[in-house]
Amino acid sequence: MRRGRVARRWVLLALLAGSLALPHPIKAAEAEAEDVGPYPGTLLWHTEFGFRELVTRLQRAVTANGLTVVATSSADARAGTIPANIVMLVTRNDMAVQIVEANSLAGLEIPIRIYVTEDQSRHASIIYRTPSSIFALYDNPKLDAIAADLDQIFAKTVDDAIGSS
């Protein structure tokens, strides 16, 4: 009985996630991203930018789109054994308040991580989980609506960071 309920819940979540994928005129759309990682909704964009340049562009794009970097973290790449990398913890305070109001446990998911890493050819990539995929498991229509708005903001942020300007 429980197994059937869990399976139905996953089917409903999949349908809900599909219905939240609203079309938008943003270059950094899922069609251009590579779906990666063990979690659904984890997207990766390869770029031609070097690591430092992409981090700078992303920081500017975060600010320009009304988001705030509240912390950063990186594994020490100075020894040359691992690629340059940084995790930016990004939030938007008004939406964080709405998220906690909708479900206090969902506050655990804030801020959202954006990962920038460098490959062997010295090009950098952006990786993050879409807010809709993060909050879908809470099965809360208010969270789903907030996450859909955040999906748009994060997609535009990535688009601004990797765009040609």
- DSSP H or E run through 161: helix 141-162
User: Cα–chain-centroid distance for residue 20?
Assistant: 15
Instruction: Could you please state the CATH topology (level 3) that the domain comprising 2-162 is classified under.
Output: TATA-Binding Protein (3.30.310)
pLDDT score at 12:
40
Does the pTM surpass 0.85? The reply is no
Whether the CB-CB separation of 143 and 117 falls below 8 Å is answered with no
Strand partners, 42: 129
pLDDT score at 4:
46
The residue to which tokens 């899922």 are assigned: 30
Give the separation between CA 15 and CA 9, rounded to whole angstroms. 10
Give the separation between CA 20 and CA 31, rounded to whole angstroms. 15
Two tokens, residue 102: 């909708």
Binned average pLDDT, 10 residues per bin, the chain of 165 residues: 43 41 41 74 95 97 98 81 93 97 97 95 96 97 98 97 82
| Domain range list for the chain | 2-162
Strand partners, 69: 90
Cα separations (Å) of 63 from 20, 74, 82, 158? 25, 20, 28, 12
